[in-house]
Amino acid sequence: MDSILIILTNQQHRYYLVCLSLLSSACFWLAWPPNHVTPLLFVALVPLLLIERQVEQYQYKHPYWTFYKYAYLTLFLWNLTTTWWVAHATVAGAVFMLLVNTFCMSLPLPLFQWMVKHHGQYVGYVALLAYWISMEHIHLQWEFSFPWLNLGNGFACWPEWVQWYEYTGALGGTIWVFVANFLFYHLLSKKASLWWLGSLCGCWVLLPMLGSYCIYANYQGQGEQTEVVVMQPNMDPYTGAFVDTGEILPIQERVSCFTQLSEMQLTPNTQFLVWPEIAIDSLFDEQKLDEYPLIEQLVSFRQQYPQLSVLTGINSLVGYSDKKATKTARFSQRYGYYDIFNTALFVGNQGTRATYHKSKLVPGAEIVPYIYSLAIPKILTPGFNGRLSSLGMQDRPNLFFNQKGIGIAPVICYESIYGDYLTDFVRMGASLIFSMTIDGWWGNSPGYQQHFHYTRLRAVESRRSIARSALKGISAFINQRGDILQATQYEDQAAIRHTLQANSVLTFYVRHDQFIANTALGISLVVSLGGILCKTSTRRKRKKRTHLTTVE
Q: What pLDDT is recorded for position 5?
A: 57
What is the structure's pLDDT at 9?
59
Domain definitions of the chain by residue range: 2-218+517-540, 224-359+394-511
Residue that wins the pLDDT comparison between 445 and 334: 445
Q: Could you say which DSSP state residue 31 is in?
A: H
Between the alpha carbon of residue 185 and those of residues 18, 197, 261, the distances in Å are 18, 11, 55
Instruction: Name the percent of the chain lying above pLDDT 70.
Output: 91
* Contact criterion met (CB below 8 Å) for 44 and 28: yes
pLDDT 10s digits, 304-316: 999 999 999 999 9
**Best-predicted range by mean pLDDT among 108-117, 138-147, 425-434?**
425-434
Q: Residues 267-291: pLDDT tens digits?
A: 999 999 999 999 998 899 998 998 9
What's the whole-number mean pLDDT along residues 6-25? Answer: 77
pLDDT of 377: 55
Which helix H or strand E contains 318, and what residues bound it? strand 309-320
Instruction: Indicate if the pLDDT at residue 385 is higher than 80.
Output: no
pLDDT value at position 440?
Answer: 86
Contact 509, 462 (CB under 8 A): yes
What SS3 class is residue 246? coil
H helices, E strands: number in the chain: 16, 16
Helix ranges (DSSP H) in 38-88: 46-57, 63-83
pLDDT at 365 over 90: no
pLDDT band at 7 (very low <50, low <70, confident <90, very high): low
pLDDT of residue 382: 52
- Portion of the chain with pLDDT greater than 90, in percent: 68
Report the SS3 class of residue 141: coil
**What's the DSSP call for residue 142?**
S
Interstrand relation of 224-232 and 270-274 (parallel, antiparallel or unpaired): parallel
Residue-wise DSSP of 533-548 = HHHHHHHHHHHHHHHH
Lowest mean pLDDT among 143-157, 377-391, 455-469: 377-391
Secondary structure of 381-450 as H, E, C letters: CCCCCCEEECCCCCCCCCCEECCCCCEEEEEEHHHHHCHHHHHHHHHCCEEEEEEEECCCCCCCCHHHHH
Is the CATH code 3.60.110.10 the one for domain 224-359+394-511? Answer: yes
Average pLDDT over residues 92-109: 89
Cα 107 from Cα 296, distance rounded (Å): 52
Q: Is-cis flag, bond preceding 34, omega within 30?
A: yes
Q: What is the pLDDT of residue 443?
A: 84
457 has a pLDDT exceeding 90: yes
- Count of beta carbons in the 10 Å neighbourhood of residue 12: 7
- Residue 386 pLDDT: 46
What are the Cα distances from residue 398, in Å, to 154, 195, 405? 29, 54, 14
- Across all residues in the chain, what is the average pLDDT? 89
Chain-centroid distance of CA 122 in Å reads: 30
Q: Is the pLDDT of residue 36 over 90?
A: no
The residue length of the chain stands at 552
Task: Decide: 347 and 298 in contact? Cβ < 8 Å.
Answer: yes
Q: Identify which of 277, 282, 296 has the alpha carbon closest to the alpha carbon of residue 232.
A: 277
Element (H, E) at 478: strand 476-478
- Alpha-helical runs (H) found in 307-403: none
Residue 11 scores a pLDDT above 70: no
pLDDT at 543 over 90: no
Cα 155 from Cα 148, distance rounded (Å): 12
Please give the angle made by the CA atoms of 26, 34 and 199, to the nearest 5 degrees.
60
pLDDT in tens, 465-523: 999 999 998 999 999 999 999 999 999 999 999 999 999 999 999 999 999 999 999 99
Distance CA 508, CA 503 (A): 14
The Cα 145–Cα 134 span in angstroms is 13
Convert the pLDDT of each residue in 397-410 to its tens digit: 999 999 999 999 99
d(CA 377, CA 386): 5
Q: How do beta strands 373-375 and 387-389 pair?
A: antiparallel
Q: Are 185 and 204 in contact (CB under 8 A)?
A: no
pLDDT tens-digit map of 38-54: 999 999 999 999 999 88
Model pLDDT for residues 321-338, shown as the tens digit of each residue: 877 788 888 888 888 889
Q: Average pLDDT in the 21-50 region? A: 95
pLDDT at 538: 64
